[in-house]
Amino acid sequence: MEAADHLGFIVAAYIAAAAVVFVLIAWVMIDYRAQRRALVDLERRGFSRRSEPMPAALAMEQARQDA
């Protein structure tokens, strides 16, 4: 058996794999943009991320209220 006998299958397999990878990359990019828009919308409505550092004055005021 020579590789030339199966050249069509090999090329088709590479094209299919490249298409799948391209679709997955596009899907991730589209989802990333949608998630960023959702985060911006939530932040506009007043929600903030817990990982975002709190200003010192606000942290002190919150600690006084909690005590």
Is the pLDDT reported for residue 58 higher than 60? yes
Is the pLDDT reported for residue 49 higher than 90? no
Is the pLDDT reported for residue 1 higher than 60? no
Of 3 and 44, which is predicted with more confidence?
Answer: 44
SS (H, E, C) the chain: CCHHHHHHHHHHHHHHHHHHHHHHHHHHHHHHHHHHHHHHHHHHCCCCCCCCCCCHHHHHHHHHHHC
How confident is the model over 7-48, as pLDDT tens digits? 999 999 999 999 999 999 999 999 999 999 999 999 898 887
41-56: average pLDDT = 76
Q: Is the pTM of this model over 0.75?
A: no
Is 8:15 a contact under the CB 8 Å cutoff?
no
